[in-house]
Structure 1
């Protein structure tokens, strides 16, 4: 790679392959290729089997086609909207604004299907080069500028007007396309490694708690203290401004350990709410709205309502308890005690009666050690995946104008 530090020409990227020197020129997507709107179909066209697959927004995941939520239709499909290799599928309309513009390229295995009316396919000879352009800030800023006033959508004519700087040299386009193809391929492989590790850990956890017949005790006997948190009135800035007490929300429960958080409250906010200080190495469990998120806090925290703090008894290995609370067995038991209402909630008073298979301390430690080693491996793979993603983001910011 060569950094373009001294080149006085404006229309060149900051970073490019050293053998190329010519300026880049602005083109609209409509000048390079065509945008095709997807299939309109009725509920009566939908079939369980033997129909043609209709890709929708939910079938684009992490920049690839996902087959976990498929719709099939029995209908005559025009050849124009049959997916071809290297088509780029774009989410054009969705109830969620943040999903507008997400995209994925059609690979050979994804061909000979179709796509719904809330989707578009972009088709050109240069789609392998266009694909990384559709992950740049320039692309998403144009998506945001063209969103409908009342409906979250971009039209085909909007999309065709999107403008990007492009090198005239087709060899340079191909080389850039290949670089990002290889990077995307490695990210895809890394995602599969993570998925397989997550499946392995989940499988071992469920095997342990179904195969081994441990002595059962009610959940209330696994902790020394527990309780739901509370949220200080957001209308009073004195409860939040310059706060120093970590305040845990659902977004903080993404990993096994809570080692950092975004929000804080003041001592006054703590006093004026039902929030309480949950000691280090406790279980933090979401029991309202989004039920079932589990983490272990590595420092004292308090939580908002809908999130329990659970301090295990001295004879309970917190790591073991964490894995039990991620098991299918525990999730099913929780579902049986959920109270339906404005917000689905599993109240602690009901969770307390759930019978938990708890072995002796030595067995707890062995199980926790095995699963923690796998979790550490998983965390390392996730960290590497984030580095790959950061590398891609950097290259996108430097190799395009």
Structure 2
């Protein structure tokens, strides 16, 4: 090692320490922001739960059969790949490319059911686990023929119905009208019993009030989750930089 090498080594060590101190400071700030963001998320979740309780127990209204709210449609695709192939899951509706990172549908999807914006879709085999979704993401798409697709009848607020279909009471009711099949995971939906499920529905104005509030909170919760994912990603990056 010559004199120049020694000089470079001496000057690089303090620089590395300073950089690590800066990173440590940023990490501390990020930790504080993550804690704060988690509290914000918990608050949104609590407010949504409270509104769901109001939806279930705190409103006056008339009792209506689900079959009067959801109107089944069976519009079919006529050409292959006529529209984007979508999948309904317990966590929501996704394009197959988005959810599976590839196209896994059969090569021939002629005869798939068409789903439009503001439709409701469910999986008869997995409804008991909560696989029922309101489509507010895609203008149009196609889903497996095994799915059931519905439009929402006039006189009902879409956002209210979307929230109602995901309440704990609704999920419990789905279990009651689903019969054990050959698989432990899959159950067979008794469609007639499903459409006869009864829900208490308030006035249209009240539906709109509750639906709008829940929709707004869910949008804010989604944004809050994106922010915390960004913070977590930044933290991982900075931790890697400390050990380079």
Equivalent position of 1:311 in the other structure: 151
1:246 paired residue among 79, 84, 101: 84
TM-aligned CA distance change 1:399 to 1:246, over 3 Å: farther
Given the alignment of the two structures, is residue 22 of structure 1 paired with residue 27 of structure 2, yes or no? no
TM-superposed CA distance for 1:278, in Å, is: 1.2
Taking CA–CA contacts closer than 8 Å with sequence separation of 6 or more, which of the two structures ends up with the larger relative contact order?
2
For 2:180 and 2:103, how far apart are their aligned partners in 1?
A: 30
TM-superposed CA distance for 1:313, in Å, is: 1.3
RMSD across aligned positions (CA):
3.7
2:59 paired residue among 212, 226, 247: 212
Using the size of structure 2 for normalisation, the TM-score is: 0.72
TM-superposed CA distance for 1:388, in Å, is: 1.9
Equivalent position of 1:71 in the other structure: none
Gaps spanning 5+ residues in structure 1: where? 1-19, 24-166, 230-238
Map Cα deviations across residues 48-100 of structure 1 (whole Å, 9 max, x no partner): xxxxxxxxxxxxxxxxxxxxxxxxxxxxxxxxxxxxxxxxxxxxxxxxxxxxx
Greater helix content: 2
Given the alignment of the two structures, is residue 198 of structure 1 paired with residue 45 of structure 2, yes or no? yes
1:360 paired residue among 203, 217, 238: 203
Given the alignment of the two structures, is residue 320 of structure 1 paired with residue 160 of structure 2, yes or no? yes
Gaps spanning 5+ residues in structure 2: where? 1-10
Kept in 2, the 8 Å contact 1:245–1:301? The answer is yes
Given the alignment of the two structures, is residue 271 of structure 1 paired with residue 116 of structure 2, yes or no? no
Kept in 2, the 8 Å contact 1:218–1:356? The answer is yes
Using the size of structure 1 for normalisation, the TM-score is: 0.47
TM-aligned CA distance change 1:383 to 1:352, over 3 Å: same
TM-superposed CA distance for 1:211, in Å, is: 2.3
Map Cα deviations across residues 232-279 of structure 1 (whole Å, 9 max, x no partner): xxxxxxx7xxx462222245x646x7699626688973325xx30012
Given the alignment of the two structures, is residue 379 of structure 1 paired with residue 222 of structure 2, yes or no? yes
* Alignment size in residue pairs: 222
Equivalent position of 2:232 in the other structure: 389
DSSP 3-state at the match of 1:301: strand
> Map of 1:257-268 to 2, 5 A cutoff?
262=98
TM-aligned CA distance change 1:174 to 1:207, over 3 Å: same
For 1:208 and 1:379, how far apart are their aligned partners in 2?
A: 21
